[in-house]
Amino acid sequence: MAQKRKILELQKKREQVFLGGGEKAIEKQAAMGKLTARERIEAILDKNSFHEYDLFVEHVATDFDMDKKILHGDGVIIGTGTVYGAPIAIYAQDFTVAGGSLGLMHARKITKIMDYALKMRMPLIGINDSGGARIQEGVNSLAGYGEIFFRNTLSSGVIPQISVILGPCAGGAVYSPALTDFVFVVDKISKMFITGPEVIKTVLGEDISMEALGGARVHCEITGNAHFFAESEIECFEQIKKLITFIPWNNKRKALAFEAKEPKKSFKIGEIVPEDSKQPYDVRDVVRALVDNSDFFEIQELWAANIVIGFGRMGGETVGFVCNQPLILAGVLDVDSSDKAARFIRYCDAFNIPIITLVDLPGYLPGVDQEHAGVIRHGAKMLYAYSEASVPKLTVILRKAYGGGYIAMNSRHLRADFVFAWPGAEIAVMGPEGAANIIFRKEILESEDPDKMRKQKVKEYKAKFANPYVAASKGYVDSVIEPEETRKLLLHAIEVSKNKDMHTIDRKHGIPPF
Ligand code: HXC
């Protein structure tokens, strides 16, 4: 009997905590189109799989009358569960409790679940919805953030770390998501910034809304801080779940294999790339013509769209794609596209995901803007990332591969394992027009009909260099292949690369051009 009473007491205590910041605060949250922290966790995880810890943790602050306040769960929910059977550690800040602000015990809960995630080698999902450092707790809040950042860094490349921004994420708080692998945002709900509109108004006298400063679109289209954009929380959760199917639980595993499927017949690989190298096309159609079920899961779709990155499956196994996108800026490499690709290459390398690189680019983007924005420093990140990566690295040159772009896009010289080129590939120091104008300048100028002479020289140059056979004759390209043979060759290359083993040089770590 006594036991039953105690169980009832426990149930009552639980119910109290489940109320979070109370009905009014929950209604306010709902009016903004936001789910509660607990609803969010339930919606992401497999049904009934969530197990919560530290439900009864309470804050320990005493200043500013804090000792008179009860903050249920101290404004954050932590626990473990599964997504499609994969073990997941998760935390969700509860905005209904003191604005989800981060105090000492709140931070301790987060760092506890982060420690579990790292120890148990399972992915971590962090849902951010918070007014930032709890002002009443002073330096203890700052300490809490520091502890989180340290663990983000320690876990990097060991377990997947996913951040979901579902409300404000302000001040130093933004640096935890920035240290994680994938950041998800939702239109009109997510807000990320270091200094808010009020500070900007005070310091700079400028008026700007929170949305225009650091809304979801800003971070997907301009800053590149976010990787996935959704119209609603539910759409966002579907994206998270899909991502989890593509990645391994930790760096010692491979992503779970699925049943192999053929690409859809509607994607005809031989009919996508126009013969005229100036004509654009959507490289994602080439990817869809190659991957199982034509299912390509693109990452950072809205930012630096001149390069395309994302996951697909080949023969049931996850692969990462890095592709120039001729639809945008002719697929050039620039500051942002180099950053985007380099980080993704490092992700794939850390998590045992083979990389397939599809090449069609005229080189690095010329111009003062790019030079001054640091295209040398940022472009170097790609060279570093590819050179360092030891997962299977496969390259297909679809069409143009000019200059530094040829080298940077996982060339043999950066240790691609297999390099294939389509018959229309043009591998050269630069495009035929530019090249002919430079090396035949004298003949063209001195000719009676310079235009005719230029055309003839361009033709000559094209015939000699703008093809895959010079590179193939040196062994830089392993095979010149028909587009229709590509999937078969890539599947084989993945198969024979399964036991790839690279010697590593004994060093603490390299110094990439971060
Ligand atoms: C304590 C906070 C809080 C905070 C919000 N609350 N932020 N309490 N510390 N940082 C409380 C509010 O007092 C309020 O409590 C409840 O949460 C809901 O907040 P509202 O302001 O009513 O909500 P809303 O109108 O939706 O505005 C949300 C907001 C705003 C835009 C986030 O609250 C805000 O500007 N907060 C301060 C943001 C900030 O400057 N944080 C510090 C950043 S510096 P009641 O009891 O009334 O319900 C920082 C440094 C970290 O984080 C450095 C790490 C390296």
Q: Whose CA is nearest to atom 22 of ligand 1?
A: 99
Closest ligand 1 atom to Cα of 167? 32
CB 291 within 8 Å of CB 314:
yes
CA distance 177 to 162: 8
CA distance 357 to 386: 10
145 lines ligand 1 (CB under 6 A): yes
CATH number assigned to the domain covering 2-246: 3.90.226.10
The CA distances from residue 91 to 78, 116, 156, 227, in Å, are 4, 12, 17, 20
CB 126 within 8 Å of CB 110:
yes
172 lines ligand 1 (CB under 6 A): yes
CB 467 within 8 Å of CB 426:
yes
| Tokens read off for 406 | 């040829």
At 195, give phi and psi (nearest 5°): -120, 130
Instruction: Output the pLDDT for position 514.
Output: 87
Q: Whose CA is nearest to atom 36 of ligand 1?
A: 131
Closest ligand 1 atom to Cα of 28? 26
Q: How far is the CA of 303 from the centre of ligand 1 (A)?
A: 30
Q: Whose CA is nearest to atom 54 of ligand 1?
A: 172
Instruction: Output the pLDDT for position 80.
Output: 98
The reported pTM is: 0.95
Q: Which stretches within 351-431 are classed as H helix?
A: 368-373, 375-388, 403-408
CB 58 within 8 Å of CB 105:
yes
Ligand 1 probe mutation, 29, 135, 152, 211, most atoms within 8 A of CB: 135
204 lines ligand 1 (CB under 6 A): no
Instruction: Output the pLDDT for position 466.
Output: 85
H or E segment to which residue 284 belongs: helix 283-290
CA distance 436 to 130: 59
Q: How far is the CA of 135 from the centre of ligand 1 (A)?
A: 8
CA distance 452 to 474: 33
Q: Whose CA is nearest to atom 33 of ligand 1?
A: 131
| Residue 482, number of CB atoms within 10 A of its CB | 11
Question: Which ranges of the chain have pLDDT less than 50?
Answer: none
135 lines ligand 1 (CB under 6 A): yes
83 lines ligand 1 (CB under 6 A): no
Q: How far is the CA of 28 from the centre of ligand 1 (A)?
A: 15
At 271, give phi and psi (nearest 5°): -115, 10
Q: What is the pLDDT of residues 264-291, one digit of tens each?
A: 999 999 999 998 888 999 999 999 999 9
Burial of 157 (0-12, 13-18, 19+ CB in 10 A): middle
Q: How big is the chain by its Cα radius of gyration, in Å?
A: 26
Q: What is the pLDDT of residues 29-41, one digit of tens each?
A: 999 999 999 999 9
At 301, give phi and psi (nearest 5°): -60, -35
173 lines ligand 1 (CB under 6 A): yes
CATH number assigned to the domain covering 269-429+467-496: 3.90.226.10
Q: Whose CA is nearest to atom 29 of ligand 1?
A: 131
Q: Whose CA is nearest to atom 23 of ligand 1?
A: 99
170 lines ligand 1 (CB under 6 A): yes
Answer whether 2-246 and 269-429+467-496 agree in fold: yes
Instruction: Output the pLDDT for position 338.
Output: 98
99 lines ligand 1 (CB under 6 A): yes
Closest ligand 1 atom to Cα of 196? 40
Q: Whose CA is nearest to atom 4 of ligand 1?
A: 134
142 lines ligand 1 (CB under 6 A): yes
Tell me the domain boundaries of the chain. 2-246, 269-429+467-496, 432-465
Closest ligand 1 atom to Cα of 100? 17
CA distance 33 to 490: 45
Ligand 1 probe mutation, 65, 94, 101, most atoms within 8 A of CB: 101
Q: Whose CA is nearest to atom 46 of ligand 1?
A: 98
131 lines ligand 1 (CB under 6 A): yes
CA distance 74 to 98: 8
| Tokens read off for 24 | 């009014």
Burial of 446 (0-12, 13-18, 19+ CB in 10 A): exposed
> Helix, strand or coil for residue 353?
coil
208 lines ligand 1 (CB under 6 A): no
CB 170 within 8 Å of CB 198:
no
Q: How far is the CA of 98 from the centre of ligand 1 (A)?
A: 8
Task: Please provide the DSSP assignment of 181-240 as one string.
Answer: SEEEEETTT-EEESS-HHHHHHHH-----HHHHHBHHIIIIIS---SEEESSHHHHHHHH
